[in-house]
Amino acid sequence: MAEKIITTEYSEEMQRSYMNYSMSVITARAIPDARDGLKPVQRRVLYDMSELKLGHDKPHRKSARIVGDTMGKYHPHGDSSIYDTLVVMSQNFKKGMALIDGHGNFGSIEGDGAAAMRYTEARLEKFAEEVYLKDLDKTVDFVPNYDETEKEPEVLPVRVPNLLINGAEGIAVGMSTSIPPHNLGEVVDAVKAYIQNPDITTEELMRYMPGPDFPTGGIIANKKDLPAIYETGAGKIKLRGRIEVELGKRRSDKDKLVITEIPYTMIGAGINKFLMDVADLVESKKLTDVTDISNQSNKEGIRIVLELKKDADVEKIKNILYKKTKLEDTYGVNMLAIADGRPETLNLRGILKNYLDFQYKNNTRKYQVLLEKELEKKEIKEGLIKACDVIDLIIAILRGSKNLKDAKACLMEGDISRINFRVPGFEEDAKQLRFTEKQATAILEMRLYKLIGLEILALEKEYRETLRKIKEYQHILKNRDTMNQVIMEDLDAIKEEFAMIRMTDI
């Protein structure tokens, strides 16, 4: 076969190759999807844990087992990125709602790393199991994995706006995303308000969802900038830690400043950096009223204590701490996500619109599947009710048939001439046969004692329930207002079970 040499400009080939590479990183690695709010590695870890049956009520499984299974089947990009993802999804100080229940050392808010994957265990949180993975078989599309030996979901059927609730962090090629976490209950209220009034303004939505809710608590100091951030999808949030004053109970006791909440940006090495900065301020005589610094934080929460001299100026010390240390910091917001296959900076209304379009699609597919199942049940129930009237004939057909094929043909066609009956006289009853293929199959699959014991009243009750469900599902599929009501009721149920109080003051 003759070689074919293609001549091209080096600069054009480099540009084309780099663009392909960058788009691959953007869409398949670093930036979350606007529909389920997940990056591919997060989605694959959760799906693999679902396939391994690691529900919230099942025993924990070794993290190494989960990582290996995910890497072998769905995400061939190295075990460290998969394990890091699993760890972060289990850390309730980083996520608005933790998705994985970790057992063992999964790191700390002070920057301690998680133990190696061979030492830790994990399973799904109930929130992830119920809200992120339910109805997988009825809703989303499945696509081939990297080597086309397995199938994986294109997105997960997440029933809440995960992009807002858990936020997102990611650095791609030439762009990055940084979305703060929000309070589940407030997000649900905002979604319901948007459903009821699609023309609602950003400021009106903020009556329900006033701003981010960081799991580390703290205070948002620039409330006036939030409307512009949610309108444009970008901006800066000024975060402050929470400082409380503890007065000495006795004359000999010193007054203390106690930091009980830190800015979200201080997670990790930020706490040690803060302690070092305060020590430097004391040594440089800029904080002359501080006599001692101690970090008394534990599993119960943050507690950084500054002991003060007698009659110290508390407000002055607070101002110095906010100005000279990371106790006041900025969180850069850039709400970038993959929408319709391309990266796009979304404002609050854009995020809610993408989420709701996804919910309409998922619910339509779900109720179409449920409707088809009920229509099949209806057909079978009609056949069994009909069978009750000619039960003796059906039993005679089963006894007189050479094989199931002849019996099925007799039930469907009503031709009993070739069947060897021990008791004649069923010619009139044979006119009532003519079952459909599904009905005949259902009859033949029943054991004889169940067939004889069929109760017409029970069948008719089940049949009426099936008709009710058919009517309900058809109404949901044909009526957008009814579909909206179903989505809002589902959100209310999620809010009632999983919502928590707001941590961050605005």
Bridge partner list, 305: 258, 294
Q: DSSP string covering 320-368, please? A: HHHHHSTTEEEEEEE-EEEETTEEEE--HHHHHHHHHHHHHHHHHHHHH
Asked if 56 and 196 touch (Cβ cutoff 8 Å), the reply is no
Average pLDDT over residues 106-135: 94
Instruction: Indicate if the pLDDT at residue 374 is higher than 80.
Output: yes
Whole-model pTM? 0.88
208/171: higher pLDDT? 208
**What is the pLDDT at residue 289?**
86
**What is the pLDDT at residue 18?**
62
Q: Share the mean pLDDT of the chain.
A: 88
Look up 264 and say whether it is catalytic: no
| Phi, psi angle pair for 33, to nearest 5° | -80, 140
Structure confidence by residue, pLDDT tens digits, 298-343: 888 899 999 988 888 888 999 999 999 999 999 999 999 999 888 8
Residue from 53, 119, 57 nearest 83 by CA: 119
Lowest mean pLDDT among 46-60, 98-112, 116-130, 247-261: 247-261
Q: DSSP string covering 53-73, please? A: T--TTS--EEHHHHHHHHHHH
The tokens of 283 are what? 């040594």
Q: Which residues contact residue 350 at a Cβ distance below 8 angstroms, ignoring those fewer than 6 apart? A: 233, 339, 344
Total Cβ atoms within 10 A of residue 370? 18
Instruction: Out of 18, 119, 264, 360, pick the active-site residue.
Output: 119
Alpha-carbon gap, residue 474 to 421, rounded angstroms: 45
**What is the pLDDT at residue 117?**
96
Say which residue the tokens 């004939």 belong to.
393
- Percent of the residues in the chain that have a pLDDT greater than 70, as a whole number: 91
Residue from 346, 198, 163, 182 nearest 264 by CA: 182
**What is the pLDDT at residue 423?**
46
Lowest mean pLDDT among 188-197, 261-270, 371-380: 261-270
Lowest mean pLDDT among 350-354, 355-359, 436-440: 436-440
Structure confidence by residue, pLDDT tens digits, 257-302: 999 999 999 998 788 889 999 999 988 888 888 888 998 888 888 9
Structure confidence by residue, pLDDT tens digits, 137-175: 999 999 999 899 999 999 999 999 999 999 999 887 778
Instruction: Indicate if the pLDDT at residue 236 is higher than 60.
Output: yes
Average pLDDT over residues 376-394: 84
**What is the pLDDT at residue 412?**
82
- Going by pLDDT thresholds of 50, 70 and 90, the confidence category of residue 460 is confident
Instruction: Indicate if the pLDDT at residue 437 is higher than 50.
Output: yes
- Percent of the residues in the chain that have a pLDDT greater than 90, as a whole number: 61
Lowest mean pLDDT among 4-13, 260-269, 298-307, 492-501: 4-13
